[in-house]
Amino acid sequence: MSLNEPNPFSPKFLYSIFGDNSIRLSKSRGQNYLIDRNIAERIVSLIGESPAVLEVGTGMGALTLLIPRDRQVYSIEIDAGIHRLLSQYTLSPNIELIHADFLKFQTSTIHEKELFFLSNLPYSISGEAVKRFIEEDVFLRGAVMSQKEFYEKMTASPGGPGYGVMSVISQVFLEITAEFNVPRTCFLPQPSVDSVVISLVKKKIDFAQGEFKNFLASCFLMKRKTIENNFKKAGFPLDILMLSGVPGNIRPEEVAPPKWVEIFKRFSDNNRNEKFPAS
């Protein structure tokens, strides 16, 4: 049996449909549903002219249903109950609902040259989802809604709060623009923090994100130790630091993203036989 389109912006509708279907929202999966249509429309407008969209986290379709019908939409939902519930409705033929875990999903099964990445990112997978966005060639642009804390981590400055591997990867591989803030009152159930909508555009980088990420993970392994001690722990040659003009007595979080790129390229040039595999 198919039903008419749901109303994802009505708290009354959501409480009713979840109760009727014995669905309990999971805090660990970040199931806080956007109920402000104006905010949803502003997010969807960021898609621009992209012909195809991959949405991560269908929910009850707050973004999905607003995407223009001349765009092909592939919408992934990890929650089997939510996916089954939305599948009962009659949706526009341009929408394909997919029950899957995005972090394990093979984008090669979607035969599109380019996909616009769209998501209300749960905080628990924000970092891994953005890394996948960077890794997958089919993604060039995206718009995500995330907790402000994650955005601050992505854009943190060297030596500042939250600066780490995610900051370096994000700033090296992406152009990041904060579009607008989203108050916690725009969600059901209401989270404890506010959110921000971010535009992402990939930069043209001549090395793999996976290799760089693994290198950084070794360099930041002991954040309270100096970069020299981290290099020693990882078995990396210390002369790379000297050649890059980096004092061995500073901490990893004091090194700016461009300098990390320089260090990594020297490491790669001098250690091709021990190159980190991309993951």
Domains of the chain, with CATH numbers? 11-202 (3.40.50.150), 209-271 (1.10.8.100)
CB 231 within 8 A of CB 241: yes
* Model confidence pLDDT, tens digit, residues 26-61: 776 778 999 999 999 999 999 999 999 999 999 999
For residue range 86-129, list pLDDT tens digits in order.
999 989 999 999 999 999 999 999 999 999 999 998 888 999 99
The residue behind tokens 């130790």 is 225
Show the tokens assigned to 161.
Answer: 């709060």
Q: What is the mean pLDDT of residues 133-137?
A: 96
DSSP structure class, residue 47: G
How far apart are alpha carbons 41 and 127 in whole angstroms? 25
* Residue 2 amino acid letter: S
> Which stretches of the chain are DSSP H helices?
11-20, 37-44, 80-87, 126-135, 148-154, 165-173, 209-219, 227-234, 239-243, 257-270
The overall average pLDDT reported for the chain is 93
